[in-house]
């Protein structure tokens, strides 16, 4: 009992550290980049596309380096589902109605659906080759171009914020904090992966399940925090762009980077149905949002229901043991 409680404590602590460290790493990297004269537009695009996904990216690298590809895929796909259903569902309940541009959500949604289809076609083999992973990571460039064209308001808002940044400290200070932030993310990722492996072994619960349902929720918290702030300031497109853009990163860079460096096998019996469910849930979310051009409390409750139905789908219909 003591061992499992300690492992759970380490998992929770790891998630808390990775959230805090990733925010510090991204913030001070942006300030440093601005101080070095890097284009605010480039920084803005980077923040929009991968800023809140640092945790998933590092989890991918660490888990694959340790030989646990299921944790990589489970966390990345689980983050997709969590953000598009649970996070999308909670936002209107917390901040009120979110208005959406139909064209933007169709473009962003199409990118996400396509990336999930690619994942489905790959994981059904039970492994991800290095070439597959490299292609997944490389495809992010195409998606970023599409995201930029469909989400210019979000990026330009961030560019304006970056242009106003004044570095009160030296460049060395921001470099140090950024490095410490990335160091914290690395250590926290190791804590999370090791605790998942231990809990999985002790409770005889597959590590894919723990990653898909528990770790994914923890690593999705930065998106929820960022989007609540954006919505309270009236920036609806920023919130939508962050969520869907983050999902696209999860479906390309986050899931592929670890596999590109350290190719690993994946449990197809669990990966295939969860990716399929995420694909179907995503399609429902995008169709509903594009049709209504808003996310209100009714839609929010539908999305949250879709999230919790995934538990029923996995444990009941698949007969998981």
Lowest pLDDT segment from 48-62, 141-155, 159-173, 235-249: 159-173
Please give the distance of CA 174 from its chain centroid, rounded to a whole number.
25
pLDDT at 165 over 60: no
pLDDT value at residue 213: 86
Distance of CA 247 to the CA centre of its chain: 5
Q: Is 245 exposed, middle or buried (0-12, 13-18, 19+ CB in 10 A)?
A: buried
Q: Range of 21's domain?
A: 2-317
Task: Check pLDDT > 50 for residue 206.
Answer: yes
Q: What pLDDT band is residue 162 in, cutting at 50, 70 and 90?
A: low
Structure confidence at residue 227 (pLDDT): 73
DSSP codes, 17-65: HHHHHHHHHHHHHHHHHHHTT--HHHHHHHHHHHGGGHHHHHHHHHHHH
pLDDT at residue 321 is higher than 50: no
DSSP E strand stretches across 75-205: 98-99
pLDDT, average across residues 257-270 = 90
Contacts of 110 (CB under 8 A, 6+ apart): none
Express each pLDDT in 209-250 by its tens digit: 888 888 888 877 777 777 777 677 666 666 777 778 778 888
Average pLDDT of the residues in 34-60 = 68
- pTM, two decimal places: 0.83
Q: Angle, to 10 degrees, between the axis of helix 2-35 and the axis of helix 171-203?
A: 160
Structurally, the chain folds into a number of domains equal to 1
What confidence tens digit (pLDDT) does each residue in 166-198 have?
Answer: 555 677 787 888 888 888 878 888 888 888 888
CATH at residue 49: 1.20.1420.30
Contacts of 297 (CB under 8 A, 6+ apart): 92, 93, 97
**pLDDT at site 281:** 94
Confidence of residue 143 (pLDDT cuts 50, 70, 90): confident
Sequence-ordered list of residues with C-beta below 8 angstroms from that of 298, at least 6 positions apart, any chain: none
Query: pLDDT at position 12, please?
Result: 87
What rounded mean pLDDT belongs to the chain?
81
Looking at residue 288, what is its pLDDT? 93
Provide the percentage of residues in the chain whose pLDDT is more than 70.
Answer: 82
Residue 117: per-residue pLDDT = 92
Spatial separation of the C-alpha atoms in residues 239 and 318, rounded to whole Å: 34
């Amino acid at each position: 009992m003591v061992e499992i409680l300690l492992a759970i404590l380490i998992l929770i602590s790891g998630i808390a550290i990775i959230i805090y460290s990733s925010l510090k790493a991204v913030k001070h990297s942006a300030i440093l980049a601005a101080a070095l004269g890097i284009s605010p537009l480039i920084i803005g695009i980077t923040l929009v596309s991968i800023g809140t996904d640092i945790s998933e990216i590092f989890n991918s690298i660490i888990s694959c380096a340790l030989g646990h590809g299921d944790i990589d895929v489970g966390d990345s796909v689980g983050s997709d589902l969590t953000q598009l259903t649970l996070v999308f569902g909670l936002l209107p309940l917390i901040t009120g109605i979110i208005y959406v541009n139909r064209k933007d959500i169709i473009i962003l949604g199409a990118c996400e659906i396509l990336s999930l289809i690619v994942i489905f076609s790959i994981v059904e083999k039970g492994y991800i080759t290095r070439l597959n992973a490299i292609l997944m990571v490389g495809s992010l460039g195409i998606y970023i171009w599409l995201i930029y064209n469909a989400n210019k308001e979000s990026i330009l808002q961030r560019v304006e914020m970056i242009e106003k940044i004044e570095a009160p400290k030296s460049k060395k200070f921001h470099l140090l904090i950024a490095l410490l932030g990335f160091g914290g993310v690395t250590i926290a990722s190791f804590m999370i992966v090791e605790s998942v492996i231990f809990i999985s072994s002790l409770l005889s619960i597959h590590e894919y399940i723990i990653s898909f349902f528990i770790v994914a929720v923890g690593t999705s918290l930065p998106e929820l925090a960022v989007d609540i702030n954006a919505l309270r300031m009236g920036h609806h497109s920023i919130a939508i762009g962050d969520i869907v853009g983050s999902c696209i990163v999860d479906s390309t860079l986050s899931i592929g980077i670890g596999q590109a460096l350290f190719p690993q096998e994946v449990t197809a019996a669990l990966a295939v149905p969860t990716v399929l469910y995420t694909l179907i849930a995503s399609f429902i979310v995008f169709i509903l949002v594009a049709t209504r051009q808003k996310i209100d409390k009714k839609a929010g409750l539908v999305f949250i229901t879709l999230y919790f139905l995934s538990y029923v789908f996995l444990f009941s219909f698949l007969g998981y043991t």
